[in-house]
Structure 1
């Protein structure tokens, strides 16, 4: 299994107790959906790109984004400690099916962004998960424009045409295309006598 065939599930925070459990941060919408997780792939910081499969014995949610995780073959704190800061992955094929108007971020990278009023704008380049909300990075006239990923702005993705349909608020593109005010207000160079 290669990282590009997987999605990032979360990461190992630290060992928990003496019997091989780890505390895992889980970047998921509903942790309860992962209680019956059977396998995870672990990528260690010292070996980027190399995934090791582990059978999952138990997922015990603690908070909305943290769980105690017990991996088969990890039975002591000494075996759990080296897993600290490891990234947890699951195969893309295991992602649940979405409703027709929903999409996974990784599916729309490279799609053309179509605004309801302005027409074709640019290309989806990336998504950023910020504390306040997720934002999409779109390339528009050589600039990266960040668009909040909310239902009011991003309506749907069309897989057949590889288009992402949006309704941008008035002036959003202007914020990115207008030079900063300090650049506009700089005086012209004065010739010395």
Structure 2
């Protein structure tokens, strides 16, 4: 079966669980209000695409290419970005719920996460240098041997980051959330003083 090449298409309110999206390369396409839950997007290529109000939870991403892709207000639980094609991988997340997703060992420098739920996300050994995390919830997220150099976490919260096992040179934090860097020491910080 030959792979499709599709450009400049808008897909609205489609359920790709029932009717599968043809494998191929999608360029400058918009997916709005679509359901991809548990879909197999392996070997697909998305370039300059936008996903808006979509459910992409538990999609299979083996060899999937995301290049300059924007995700807005999407439900993206349990996605394995570590299975993606890393060549040119770049995306932006706005208002997304990425709970339990995995970015293990990915290189995603300069990524913007804005108003996202990153609950129990695995960022171990990930290169997030120069990334911006604006108003993100990191409850239970894993940072281990993660490169956060020059990343901006000033408006984010609920993170636990061990400065000894992560790269934090010139990383920006807010004073109100600094306890997230000290949690491993089991010390008490008076937030009222």
TM class by shorter chain equals under 0.3
Which structure's CA Rg is the greater one? 1
Larger fraction in strand: 1
Relative contact order, higher structure (CA 8 A, sep 6+) = 1
